[in-house]
Structure 1
Amino acid sequence: MTDQTPRLEAYQSKRSRTAVWLALGVAVITAGLVGGLLLIPRADRAEPIAVPTAFASPSAAETPAARATEAATRKVTLPAKLLSQPRLTDATLQKLADSMTLQFKDTAPETEDAVSGFYGNLAKQKLTMVIAIDAPVGNPASWASGMTHGLKTSLNAGPFHDVNPGPLGGSAKCADAKASGITIAVCLWADQETYGVLGFYYRTSASVTSDFVKARAAVELPTP
C-alpha cells in the first residue's frame, strides 16, 4: 500500500456517497415531475386530428403521437458535452439516468422519446442534470404549470419565476431547490413539441439563466 492509497480510497468513498445523494435527489425530482404532468388537464394536451370518414375506419382518428411523427421539427438528444462539461459515465448516475428515461417513456403522458443524463465533474461540485422529452404539447403554459406544481410538491423549492426561454420559445421557469441537502437551480421548459428539466447542482437560479438557454439549445435540436 502506497502513501496515496488512503487518500484515493477516501476520494472514492466520498464520490460514491455523493452519487448516492444525487440519486436520491433525482428520484424525488422525477417522481414529482411525472406526478405533475399527470395532473395536466386533457384539454390542454394535443388533441387528435379528425380523419375524413371516407378515408378512415371508425377507430382510425390520427393520434397526437402520429401527428407529431409526421410534422415534428425538433428532437431531444444528449450531446457529448454540455456547457463545456463532459457527460458523466459514473455507474450509479448512468443507471439512474436509464431509470429516469424508462420511467418517462412508460408513465409520462404522450411521450414519444426521452433522454436523461448528467454532465460535469463531481469532485469539483460541477454537475448538470438533463431530462428532455419529445411529446406533442397542446398548451405549453399549462404543461409548465403542471411541471412546477409537481416539482414544488416533491422538492423544497422556492417559487418558480418566468425566465427567458431563448430563441426556441415556449414557456420557461426556474426556481431554487434542495434535494438531499444539495442546492439545485431547477429550470424547465415546454414548447409545442418538447419539454424538459435542467438541474444545475450547487448553483442558484439567478446565476443560470444564460446557461439554461445555451443548454436547452444543445439538447433540443431541429430534425434533419
Structure 2
Amino acid sequence: MSDPHSYGQSPTAGPPVYGSAPVAPSAHGSAVVQPAAYGSAPAAAPPGSVPPVGVDTYGQYPPPPRRSRKGLWITLSVVLTIVIAAVVAGAVFLLPAITGALAEQNATLRTPDALVGFTKSTDPTRQATAEALKKQLAAEVTSETSSVAAFYEDPADPQKIVMVYGLTGKISSPAKELDDAFGGGSADGLVITDLRKVDAGPMSGEAKCGKGSSEGIDLVMCAWADHGSLGVTIFFNRDIDSSAALFKQIRNEVLVRN
C-alpha cells in the first residue's frame, strides 16, 4: 500500500538538499541544465555561436585599447608655438636695445680748447680740483677706459665758469651710475636739491640736473650716463634751466661716438 504523503512525487526523488536551488521540471525528453558552481569558468559557447561583444573566445575580456596621444602632440605643438613666438618677440624687442648699448660703448671724451663759446681755463688750481673730482668718479666705475677733466670760462661773464669731467667704459646700469654720481642727493659734500631728469640730447642715455651751493656760490650739477660713458658738468652762478640747456650742448661736443 502506498504512502499517502508520497502522492505526486517521483518514487526515485530524494529529499531536497538544504540551500540548493530548486530545479524546474524539464520537458519530456529534454536535458536538465544544472546551475554552474560558484567561481567556475563560464561554459563554452556551442559550436557556430558568436561570442558576446567585448569577450574573447576564451571567456576573458581583452585589454583596453591604447589611448591616442594625438591630443598630447597637439598641445605640445601649441605650447612650442607660443614659446617660439615669445622668444622671437623678445629678440625683436631687445635687439635695438642691445645694438644701442654696443654703439654707446664705442665712445670717446674730449676737452677742446673752445666749448660752446667758452674758453678752456689754464688756472692750475682749478685744474687740480677737476682732476680730483675725475679720480673720485673713476673710482666708482671699475671698467673705466679713459677720463677727462677741465674748467671753462664764459667770456661774457668770468663768474659763470663751467667744470667738466667724465670717463668712458662699459656701464651695465646707466641709471644706477647716474644716481651714484649724485651720491643719492649729494655730491662731494654738496647738498643737491631740486634734482630732475633733463633731456640728454641726441646722444641717448639718461641725464639729470640739480641745484646746490658751495661757499655761498650757487651752482647747478648736471650729469649724464649711458652704456659707454659717464659725465658731470658743474655750472657756477647759473639757474637750473639755462644750465640744463647748456649741458645738452656741452655733451654733444665733449662726447664722440666712434
Q: How many residue pairs end up in the alignment?
A: 156
Structure 1 match to 2:153:
120
Structure 1-normalised TM-score?
0.62
Question: Within the alignment, does 1:76 sit opposite 2:109 as a pair?
Answer: yes
**Alpha-carbon shift at residue 111 of structure 1 (Å):** 1.5
Structure 1 match to 2:174:
140
Structure 1 pair 125–71 and aligned structure 2 pair: CA distance change class (3 A): closer
> Aligned partners of 1:135, 1:72: CA distance in 2, in Å?
7
RMSD of Structure 2 on Structure 1 (CA)? 2.6
Structure 1 pair 85–137 and aligned structure 2 pair: CA distance change class (3 A): same
Question: Within the alignment, does 1:130 sit opposite 2:164 as a pair?
Answer: yes
Judge which range, 200-209 or 122-131, deviates more.
122-131
**Alpha-carbon shift at residue 82 of structure 1 (Å):** 1.4
The aligned amino acid for 1:199 is I
Judge which range, 117-126 or 208-217, deviates more.
117-126
Of the candidates 83, 89, 95, which is equivalent to residue 122 of structure 2? 89
Q: Which runs of 5+ in 1 are unaligned?
A: 1-67
> Aligned partners of 1:173, 1:183: CA distance in 2, in Å?
17
Structure 1 pair 106–137 and aligned structure 2 pair: CA distance change class (3 A): closer
Instruction: Check whether the contact 2:206–2:224 (CA below 8 A) recurs between aligned residues.
Output: yes
> Aligned partners of 2:122, 2:185: CA distance in 1, in Å?
26
SS at match of 2:132: helix
Structure 1 match to 2:131:
98
Question: Within the alignment, does 1:152 sit opposite 2:183 as a pair?
Answer: no
SS at match of 1:129: strand
Instruction: Check whether the contact 1:184–1:203 (CA below 8 A) recurs between aligned residues.
Output: yes
Q: Identity, % of aligned pairs?
A: 26
**Alpha-carbon shift at residue 113 of structure 1 (Å):** 1.0
**Residue deviations 1:125-180, cap 9 Å, x none?**
02000011102111111211222235526212213100011001111000111112
**Alpha-carbon shift at residue 210 of structure 1 (Å):** 1.7
Question: Within the alignment, does 1:163 sit opposite 2:198 as a pair?
Answer: yes
Instruction: Check whether the contact 1:104–1:114 (CA below 8 A) recurs between aligned residues.
Output: no
> Aligned partners of 1:70, 1:161: CA distance in 2, in Å?
26
Q: Which runs of 5+ in 2 are unaligned?
A: 1-100
**Structure with the largest fraction of helix:** 1
**Alpha-carbon shift at residue 70 of structure 1 (Å):** 11
Instruction: Check whether the contact 1:132–1:219 (CA below 8 A) recurs between aligned residues.
Output: no
Structure 2 match to 1:59:
none
> Aligned partners of 2:174, 2:225: CA distance in 1, in Å?
5
> Aligned partners of 1:95, 1:162: CA distance in 2, in Å?
29
> Aligned partners of 1:185, 1:83: CA distance in 2, in Å?
17
Judge which range, 118-127 or 207-216, deviates more.
118-127
> Aligned partners of 1:70, 1:206: CA distance in 2, in Å?
29
Structure 2-normalised TM-score?
0.55
**Residue deviations 1:39-64, cap 9 Å, x none?**
xxxxxxxxxxxxxxxxxxxxxxxxxx
Structure 2 match to 1:15:
none
